[in-house]
Amino acid sequence: MNKTIATSVAPAAVGPYCQAKLCGNTLYTSGQLGLVPTTGKLAEGGVEAQARQALENIGAVLREAGMDYGDVAKTTCFLADIGDFAAFNGVYAQFFQGEVPARSCFQVAALPLGALVEIECIAVK
């Protein structure tokens, strides 16, 4: 089974891809920026605001697939500036507690729309 997951509660894709694919009991999300779904603009307030919004967007996609943050097995986090690592972690820790997922986090040269953070995940039900 390979099902496209889409929700209007998270930003629509800004390119030729979908928000997520559910393959059996495993969900693969596309990267989520800190875009506010109602405005299509990046959350104001720096890396913390964008990280919070990106994680809320991931939550909306997870819910559409019948999952939640506890089902996330792995995240990949992209930062425009690795100097934001501590601030990013502060927000990230609010969404993942207890049995936290595996994670990669690194600085990239640039992100779409000038974003400061992008997050993708793999979740298993």
Residues identified as active-site: 105
CA distance 4 to 2: 7
Residue type, 18: C
Where b means 16+ CB within 10 Å and e means fewer, 78-117 reads bbbeeebbebbeebbeebbeeeeeeeebeeeeebeeebbb
The angle at the Cα of 7, spanning 94 to 30, to the nearest 5 degrees, equals 65
Contact 88, 79 (CB under 8 A): yes
Which helix H or strand E contains 81, and what residues bound it?
none
